Amino acid sequence: MSLLDELRAVVGDAHVLTDPDLRAPFERDWTGRFGADALAVVRPADTEQVSAVVRVCAAHDVALVPQGGNTGLVGGGVPRGGEVVLSLTRLNTVAPVDPALRHVLVGAGATLAQLHVSAAAAGLATGLDFRARDSATLGGIVACNAGGARALRYGTARARVAGLEAVLADGTIISRLSGLAKDNAGVDLSQLLIGSEGTLGIITRVLWQLVPRYPSRVAALVPLPDIESASGLLAALTTHAPALEACELLTHDALSLSLQHQRRTNPVEDAPFYVFTELADHEDPTPQLVAAFEHAGIEDAAVADDTTSRERLWDLREGVAEAIASVGVPHKLDVGVPLAQLGAFLTELPLVVRAAASDARLVVFGHLGDGNLHVNVLDAGDHTDTTVDDAVLGLVLDHGGTISAEHGIGTAKAHWLERARPEYAVLQGLKAWLDPAGTLNPGSVLLRATTT
């Protein structure tokens, strides 16, 4: 049988898409920067079908690109040309919440928004959130170890994974879904798959650890004269506000773009930097915010303690990426810099960017509490021209940072990883051991070892 016939035998005719119109939404990422034609898009219904699809593709020596909600930002979930896209969106079940353990078993294709609904119905919260919640799926979230604004309090996706099930490159299904908080019976292979971006296995189910639902919230937008003041406010919040849930940074240009895009006026004074923060607790966390403000010497702030005004402040923060996209296709660099280096990095960044692309426009925002900055550079040429990317990532490494904080490596940064990871050959060896034929997401994250 041909590859396509075998795939149809596994998932049914209706779930092997070869018509270009049907394939299209799976072939290109939403930023429009990455993608190519797929050989086909295959949509399995369950773990066994995923395993069978992997076996079929491996037998035909055809590469697979696993895809969840296609909300990735580094080109790791769309074809490079000629692969089979394995879409996991049909694995979208969400089991009932276990109230004693606060666990919920979700299919890889369930969206973050679906999980939010289930968690809320059980009086709990997901503990992870970001703008693409309506599309982003749990499998992708775990495969990419997603972060977001609330990682400051709850950690990245890794901290929320109480177990998972996955399919390896040879079709083997591995499963760790007992929900036991302590299980030291040999190495936990789940940990290897978290953050592997679909290159070492395909996550099919996730046992998610929910967190308490805090009913009382307060948010604030604070204008600040310099990055040192922003760091000072973060330190005051960390010390005096145990209810701290998010502490975000916006530069003047980032907030201005967002305001402009949403046709709103600045609720606070114009300033070079802004911190946006949210506190959440069982009781009103406003006194904690006031205490932190006092210690940090904050006098001007927009404070939102009702749901509507809080959501409007969140919209300003979450709307930055869309505002940027509305004016151009940026070079997007999601980096992490140790807090102690943040001031120096932000001072040097504009100089480095200007030297690389004299007309470039720099828009920076991100998650201050994690040292996670989203460096967006507009008007720096087509994304295939990596001059400005090289300059920014070089600066990041000079300051002891990471070339990817939360978006992952994908195809966008695969050429950079060797410089960032001295033990690159070990990572290549790991890939070669788990996926010797290179079936899973080849070209993403790791470049093939040249010596094998």
Please report, as residue ranges, which positions from 336 to 395 form the binding site for its own copies (by CB under 8 A): 336-339, 367, 369-372
**Binding region for its own copies (CB under 8 A) out of 62-70, 147-155, 356-364, 377-385:** 147-155
State how far the Cα of 381 lies from the Cα of 384, in Å rounded to an integer: 8
For residues 80 to 109, the per-residue mask of contacts with its own copies, x marking binding by CB under 8 A and - elsewhere, is: -------------------xxx--------
Of these, 65, 243, 249, 403, which contacts its own copies (CB under 8 A)?
403
Q: Which of residues 285-344 bind its own copies (CB under 8 A)?
A: 336-339
- Least separation in angstroms between residue 399's CB and its own copies is 10
Encoding tokens for residue 170?
A: 């040879």
Is residue 147 close enough to count as binding its own copies by CB under 8 A? yes
Q: Which of residues 197-256 bind its own copies (CB under 8 A)?
A: 200, 212, 234-235, 238-239, 242
Neighbours of 2 (CB within 10 A): 8
Of these, 69, 401, 442, 443, which contacts its own copies (CB under 8 A)?
401
- The DSSP result for 424-444, as a single string, is HHHHHHHHHHH-TT--BSTTS
Encoding tokens for residue 391?
A: 């300059």
Residue 17 parent element (H or E): strand 16-17
Encoding tokens for residue 346?
A: 């932000």
Neighbours of 185 (CB within 10 A): 7
- Least separation in angstroms between residue 351's CB and its own copies is 23
Encoding tokens for residue 37?
A: 């034609």
In degrees and rounded to multiples of 5, residue 311 shows phi and psi of -65, -35
- The DSSP result for 345-389, as a single string, is HHHHHHHHHHHH-TT-EEEEEEEGGGTEEEEEEESS--TT--HHH
Is residue 447 close enough to count as binding its own copies by CB under 8 A? no
Of these, 25, 172, 326, 328, which contacts its own copies (CB under 8 A)?
172
Is residue 186 close enough to count as binding its own copies by CB under 8 A? yes
- Least separation in angstroms between residue 98's CB and its own copies is 9
- Least separation in angstroms between residue 237's CB and its own copies is 11
Of these, 36, 62, 95, 189, which contacts its own copies (CB under 8 A)?
189
Residue 154 parent element (H or E): helix 151-154
Is residue 12 close enough to count as binding its own copies by CB under 8 A? no
Is residue 144 close enough to count as binding its own copies by CB under 8 A? yes
CB distance 401 to 335 below 8 Å: yes
CA distance readout (Å), 41 to 53, 335, 439 = 11, 32, 15
- Least separation in angstroms between residue 203's CB and its own copies is 14
Is residue 36 close enough to count as binding its own copies by CB under 8 A? no
Nearer to its own copies, 288 or 376 (CB): 288
Is residue 122 close enough to count as binding its own copies by CB under 8 A? no
